[in-house]
């Protein structure tokens, strides 16, 4: 059983952030993660400049008092640049606006391992590349910093050109609140693969379970309102998953009736752990993700059009139509 090294702090002082002293930080992109991390950095005593397009996010950065610059100007000013724009725009943005401003000795911090692992980022030689990847949405990154609960994050050094990349990595993680919840030593490969695996194996399986359960229950003669509320519209599954995170996958079973516990465990133990689901998950992990096939497919120009077609396909499905009708009847 493999275990990762974890760095966790109950409190943080200036000495813990020494690797940031005298260095200019720049947050590239003031979206959900960018806004949260910029605010956390400022509250930790290291106010960043912000690089952003001239849009509503730039307006928000200005209104919150940050030194707003163009992306190219922010990268030029930065000793440490936090790349917090969507994965799909990073390669072109780094090539055209970020990389030209980076110098030997600077640090590029990525919050996702995807583009670096799959070789899609052109970063100048002599620049450290590190990963600080919160496992939390942007709003919660801010809220959990403020209440000092912190959040888990993955950290790694991908290129140590200076010999000081690890100190920078931990200092950035500390400054945004990541070590309060636990900074887990990982890699861009691991972060990207597990993220894609959740998206392409776990969540499609869950969506298919719900879709299939809906069809079977409707064919058994039950109403759309009852079926959809039992499956997810009531938000009960969200409550269950919240307790899974707090109490454990099986620890949360104690919150259910004994009838429910018996039914869940009886059916679970009857499933074949090495069956078709395991085979499908292995194919996704190895044939689609680790092989780089998905990354190559998603990088093709026509991938965006394919995504829109897939959205249209699921929007026309029976469960989507039923959901719209039930929501309308319930006044949602």
Which residues does residue 51 pair with via DSSP β-bridges, in sequence order?
28, 69
Let me know if 40 is exposed, middle or buried by CB neighbors in 10 A (0-12, 13-18, 19+).
buried
Q: What is the DSSP code string of 72-92?
A: HHHHHH-SEEEE-S-GGGHHH
Q: CA 281 to CA 279: how far, in whole Å?
A: 5
Q: Is 16 a known ligand-binding residue?
A: no
> Which pairing describes strands 80-83 and 25-28: parallel, antiparallel, or unpaired?
parallel
* Two tokens, residue 327: 């929501």
Q: Which residues contact 71 (CB under 8 A, 6 or more apart)?
A: 28, 51, 52, 53, 93, 97, 98
CA distance 94 to 99: 5
Q: Do the Cβ atoms of 124 and 99 come closer than 8 Å? A: yes
Classify the phi-psi angles of 29: left when phi > 0, otherwise alpha if psi is within -120 to 50, otherwise beta: left
> Is 199 marked as a binding-site residue?
yes
| CA pair distance 208, 160, nearest whole angstrom | 43
Which among 38, 41, 106 is positioned nearest to 69, based on CA atoms?
38
| Exposure on the CB side of residue 2, measured as CA atoms within 13 A | 5
Q: Which residues contact 166 (CB under 8 A, 6 or more apart)?
A: 157, 160
Supply 143's token pair: 């809220």
Binding residues for Mg(2+): 195, 199
**Which positions make up the binding site?**
195, 199
């Amino acid at each position: 059983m493999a275990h990762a090294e974890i760095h966790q702090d109950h409190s943080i002082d200036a000495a813990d952030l020494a690797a940031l002293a005298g260095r200019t930080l720049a947050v590239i992109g003031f979206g959900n993660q960018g806004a949260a991390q910029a605010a956390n950095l400022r509250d930790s005593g290291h106010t960043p400049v912000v690089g952003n397009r001239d849009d509503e996010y730039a307006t928000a950065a200005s209104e919150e008092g940050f030194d707003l610059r163009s992306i190219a100007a922010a990268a030029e000013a930065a000793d440490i640049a936090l790349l917090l724009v969507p994965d799909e725009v990073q390669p072109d943005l780094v090539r055209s606006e970020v990389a030209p401003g980076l110098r030997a000795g600077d640090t590029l911090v990525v919050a996702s391992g995807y583009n670096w692992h799959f070789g899609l980022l052109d970063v100048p030689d002599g620049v450290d590349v590190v990963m600080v990847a919160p496992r939390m949405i942007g709003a919660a990154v801010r809220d959990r910093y403020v209440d000092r609960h912190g959040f888990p994050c993955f950290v790694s050094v991908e290129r140590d050109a200076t010999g000081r990349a690890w100190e920078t990595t931990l200092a950035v993680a500390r400054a945004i609140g990541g070590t309060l919840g636990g900074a887990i030593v990982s890699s861009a490969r691991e972060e990207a693969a597990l993220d894609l695996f959740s998206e392409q194996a776990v969540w499609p399986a869950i969506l298919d379970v719900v879709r299939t359960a809906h069809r079977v229950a409707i064919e058994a003669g039950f109403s759309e309102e009852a079926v959809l509320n039992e499956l997810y519209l009531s938000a009960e599954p969200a409550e269950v998953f919240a307790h899974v995170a707090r109490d454990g996958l099986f620890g949360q079973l104690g919150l259910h009736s004994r009838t429910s516990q018996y039914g869940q465990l009886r059916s679970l133990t009857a499933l074949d752990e090495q069956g078709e689901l395991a085979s499908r998950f292995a194919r996704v992990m190895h044939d689609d993700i680790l092989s780089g096939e998905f990354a190559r497919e998603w990088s093709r120009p026509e991938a965006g059009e394919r995504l829109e077609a897939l959205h249209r396909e699921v929007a026309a499905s029976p469960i989507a139509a039923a959901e719209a009708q039930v929501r309308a009847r319930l006044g949602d």
